[in-house]
Structure 1
Amino acid sequence: LLKKIAVGSKIFELCLWSDGQIYEELSKVYNKKPTFKGLAFPTTLSVNEVCGYNAPLLEDSTAIKEGDLVKIELGAHIDGFAAFVAHTVVIQSDKNAPVTGKKADVILAAYKAAQAALRLLKPGHFNNEVTEVIQKVCDSYQVAPLEGVLSHELKKHLIDGNKVIINKETFEQRVDAQEFAIHDVFALDVFVSSGEGKPKESDLRCTVYKRALDRSYNLKIKQSRQFFNEVLDRYPSFCFGLNSFEDPITARIGIKECLEHELLVPFPILVEKPGNFVAQFKFTVMITKGKTTALTGLPIDEALFKTENTIKDQQILDLLAVFYV
């Protein structure tokens, strides 16, 4: 997908292609016996100040422009065990041209905050330590952690477990201190903004949803029942996009009645103020005895990012100096 994203590529087509590739790769593994597998989160491409969850529909012709900062997020599962990943890139015709200014600051801050956080995910450390480290790295680059973002513990068929790490603690948004333990698996999600870090809901159409596990209702409209049965069959506990359904008309009718009766949880598209940039890095992390492993995630070439800001906090520098596989 990273190789396909270029100036002029349509976001709708990129998302659709990526979802197809995930299904194709899944079809090659665990085939000796019937195994439930598929998308755990549809491919979303969110540009510049758009924070996430952007999976446009066919009629949306929005394309990537020169210099766009693009956040890519996706997830897959095998037998109900999910893995998620997110990565941020700046699209430039000259691949070797340096990324500068606030784009460089938010990407370096998000990446280094995530790298420092990875080194804290082990027994003896607590979730609030990770939150503090994210804030310190952001301060170094004069940017802000995004409010309202939680990194959840993952279990079979559960993507929003009770153990959480909050990206930014505020007076209204805080979580209880919890120690990391062997066998914990987390979707570590770090979001950083060049703005205030207080996103607002946008006018962009919400297309990503998840079934509300604690709700039930007998739908009245035939198309709604047809749509919801497909959700139960393919996405009983995972996120899906409207692009995943072959019959878009049935899906749109179904979504309406399902939302009216709170059978689905919407993932609205949040945005910072225009002119700001938001970067995201997400890793699926597993804590085992004596080792913490990032199961997903890609490195960045830090040499391509030029900024006058740098990390001076010795605690963070010591953390980042720890060898990590």
Structure 2
Amino acid sequence: MAIDPEVVPKKEEEVEDIDNEEEEDDAPAAPGANGEAAKKKKKKKPKSKKKKPTQSDPPRVGITKFFPNGVYPEGEIQEYKDDNAWRTTSEEKRYDERMVCENEQNTYQNIRRAAEVHRLVRRHARKTIRPGMTMTEIAENIEDGTRALVEENGFESGVGFPTGLSVNECAAHYSPNPGDTKVLQQGDVLKVDFGVHVKGRIVDSAFTLNFEPTYNKLLEAVKAATDTGIREAGIDVRLGELGAAIQETMESYEVEVNGKVYPVKPIENLSGHSINPYQIHGGKSVMLVANDDDTKMEEGEYFAIETFGSTGRGRVVDFGEVSHYAKMGDAPHVPLRLTTAKSLLKTINAHFGTLPFCRRYLTRAGEDKYLLALNHLVSQGVVQSYPPLCDEVGSMTAQYEHTILLRPTVKEVVSRGDDY
């Protein structure tokens, strides 16, 4: 956290001068017209010290107030491995790093600002989420905190995507819709996945909560697999080989439930991904199993390294009511026959652009009775829907995720915190 500079003590000469001036001011003045001596004394106004801002509970004070110079904390720094280790000391790459900072001076700071907001919001979420709360209450607490701390301002800063609160066999893409009354239970395994963006630079990070110890090993396995993915990631690393490392770590764990042992399986059809400005899925995928993808990670890219583990079949299918949507980046220009669809598209363009949104966000933007129009936009290929992704009923899934930045000299885990 930025701190105000300390007051620099005055030099001795300056102190003496001030003392002399005060003595002269206290001396009797020349007699006035009435013959009486008048005394003048200058009263010094006490210097008002700037009050340092303090964060509220729940956190609602904008993050820029704590970092007035616009410089935010770095994430965890990891040196590149093996063939990339030379980058840390290379003069050429240090020069490249300086050039990035000068030419795109706000890129790193925008990402770090979003990451600092994520850390503060999730710290409060981890402290307060408890069985008995509704999913809507949990989501709105997270989103209200995000909007306040990032100082939501149109496309300048705001929520990166809808808060995912997938439970048990549901691994991803569940967020409560308007009117949802689902309540978190004691035995649930809850994935909390939310994003923050500053000028389109999205920080994507997720964690899993459980409230009794049965599935502790599942959470441990997935967290370890994510850490492996982060450790092995780097410039020129092939995505298929990275998937193999994640798989090996995940499959070294097992979970015992009521005397029966379940292997932890990576969910083979879910993945991490690169991130582009205002686009959560940037085109490259980090699968969780070994594969033949020879695509390489490149300098300057940033990725969400996320892994999912399951006690079930290790494969998800679409299941349940859709909450997540996003306008396609390459949406076709098609004639929309519904006037309501045209109006809804204007709202989507004005409030979200290509950032993902959910039905609650449309309601918040003032839309009402929009489902027919929304489905029409989906059917025309203008908007993509993302249904909940679930493994088999009775299984449990877990998720951990961090955003990493592949800088020229080092790898920065921008969303790393004290919690995970």
Give deviations 1:171-201, integer Å, cap 9, x for gaps.
xxx5521233321200111111111111122
Structure 2 residue aligned with 1:316: none
Aligned mate of 1:189, from 306, 315, 320:
306
Q: 1:135 aligns with which of 227, 239, 247?
A: 247
For 1:202-213, what aligned pairs fall within 5 Å after superposition? 202=319, 204-213=320-329
Counterpart of 2:283 in 1: which secondary structure?
A: coil
User: Comparing 61-70 with 292-301, which one deviates more in the overlay?
Assistant: 292-301
Larger Rg: 2
The 5 Å alignment of 1:235-314 reads: 235-245=352-362, 246=364, 247=366, 249-298=368-417
SS in 2 for 1:18: helix
Contact 1:42 1:239 (8 Å CA) reproduced: yes
Between the two structures, name the one with larger relative contact order (CA 8 Å, sep ≥ 6): 1
Separation of aligned partners in 2, 1:182 and 1:39? 27
1:198 aligns with 2:308: no
Q: 1:280 & 1:299 partners in 2: Cα distance?
A: 18
Please state how far the C-alpha of 1:35 moved relative to its aligned partner: 6.1
What does 1:1-325 align with in structure 2 at a 5 Å threshold? 1-27=125-151, 36-92=156-212, 99-100=213-214, 103-141=215-253, 142-169=263-290, 174=291, 176-202=293-319, 204-214=320-330, 215-245=332-362, 246=364, 247=366, 249-298=368-417
* C-alpha distance in structure 1 between counterparts of 2:202 and 2:338, whole Å: 32
> Counterpart of 2:235 in 1: which secondary structure?
coil
Shift of 1:124: 4.9
Q: Deviation digits for residues 12-63 of structure 1, max 9, x if unmatched?
A: 22112222221111217xx8xx862222211110111111111122322110
Say if 1:86 and 1:297, in contact at 8 Å, map to a contact too.
no
Letter aligned with residue 138 of structure 2: L
Shift of 1:168: 2.6
Aligned partner of 2:235: which letter?
Answer: P
Number of positions where the alignment pairs a residue of Structure 1 with one of Structure 2: 284
Distance 1:299-1:68 versus aligned 2 partners, 3 A rule: farther
CA distance in 1, matches of 2:295, 2:385: 28
Aligned counterparts of 1:175 and 1:13: Cα–Cα separation in 2 = 43
- Could you say if the C-alpha distance between residues 254 and 128 of structure 1 is closer, same or farther in structure 2, counting changes exceeding 3 Å? same
1:68-111 per-residue CA deviation (whole Å, 9 max, x = no partner) reads 1100011121111111111101035xxxxxx23xx223211110
Once the two structures are superposed, residues 110-158 of structure 1 have per-residue CA deviations (whole angstroms, 9 ceiling, x without a partner) of 1001111111112353222221111111221121110221222122233
1:262, distance to aligned residue in structure 2 (A):
1.7
**Alignment partners' CA distance in 2, 1:160 and 1:47:** 23
Q: The residue matched to 2:195 in structure 1 has which SS?
A: strand
Q: Deviations over 1:234-263 (max 9, x none)?
A: 221111111112345343232122122121
CA–CA separation in structure 1 for the residues paired with 2:155 and 2:348:
17
Equivalent residues of 1:211, 1:236 under 8 A apart: yes
Amino acid in structure 2 at the alignment position of 1:71: K
Contact 2:325 2:356 in 1 (8 A): yes
SS at match of 2:240: helix
More helix by share: 2
Cα deviation for residue 9 of structure 1 reads 0.2
Distance 1:230 1:248, change over 3 A: closer
How far apart in 1 are the matches of 2:155 and 2:373? 27
2:251 aligned counterpart, secondary structure? helix
Residues 110 and 116 from structure 1, CA distance in 2 versus in 1: closer, same or farther, beyond 3 angstroms? Answer: same
Which residue of structure 2 lines up, in the alignment, with residue 314 of structure 1? none
Scaled by the length of structure 1, the TM-score of the pair is 0.81
- Secondary structure of the equivalent of 1:119? helix
- Structure 2 residue runs of 5 or longer lacking an equivalent are 1-124, 254-262
C-alpha contact 2:218 2:310 (8 A) present in aligned 1: yes
Give the secondary-structure state (helix, strand or coil) at the position aligned to 1:39.
strand
**Aligned residue identity for 1:252:** L
> Structure 1: which amino acid aligns with 2:393?
P
| Structure 2 letter corresponding to 1:18 | I
Alignment check: 8 A CA contact 1:166 1:175 kept: no
Query: Cα RMSD (Å) of the superposition?
Result: 2.1
- Distance in 1 (alpha carbons) for counterparts of 2:414 and 2:345: 32
| Gapped regions of structure 1 (runs ≥ 5) | 93-98, 302-325
CA contact under 8 A between 1:134 and 1:167: conserved in structure 2? yes
